[in-house]
Each structure stands twice: as structure tokens, then as C-alpha cells.
Amino acid sequence: MTVLKTRSRTISVRLSEDEYIALRQVCSSAGARSVSDLTREAMRAFLNGAAHEDVLHVRMNEFCAQMNSLGRKVEELVEIISASTKQTDP
């Protein structure tokens, strides 16, 4: 049986909106319960000297999340351009 240690320390980090969205996407794709859980696990891995492959996996997930975000933005732009083109067509 695992004994849970009381978590009594807090850290605070400021992120841009895009960074936070990417973090939420990685959280979702990694199956983490929350951003805090994902961050805690990442810190543990970092402090325990995670293997290069693990770090590469995390970076790849971050890259995929950023690409998904970029894809959504491109789709939004396509919709805006299509709507604009339809309005100007006679």
C-alpha cells in the first residue's frame, strides 16, 4: 500500500496563453488527471534524471500538441477566408 506524503509546498509559474493551451493538450494526451499532476510527474522525472528517451517522448508530445493547435488555427483561418469569399462573390 502506498503511503501518500502531504504536499505542503507550492510553486508558481507564469505561462502565455499558448503555452497553457499546449500544456493542457499534453495533459489530455498523456492521460493526466490535471495540469498539476502532469507537472508534478514531469518534475519527478527531471529530478530523477529521466532517460533521454523519456525526455524525447515528452518533447514529441509537446510538438504534437503545438501542431494540433496550429492545425486548428489554420482551419479557423480557412473558414474566415471562405466566409469572406462567399460574401464578396456576386
Distance CA 24, CA 36 (A): 10
pLDDT in tens, 18-74: 999 988 888 888 888 888 888 888 888 777 776 666 767 877 888 898 999 999 999
pLDDT, residue 59, reads: 79
pTM of the model: 0.47
Distance CA 19, CA 27 (A): 12
pLDDT, residue 78, reads: 94
pLDDT, residue 1, reads: 47
pLDDT, residue 75, reads: 95
pLDDT, residue 53, reads: 66
SS3 5: coil
Nearest to 72 by CA among 2, 3, 12, 22: 22
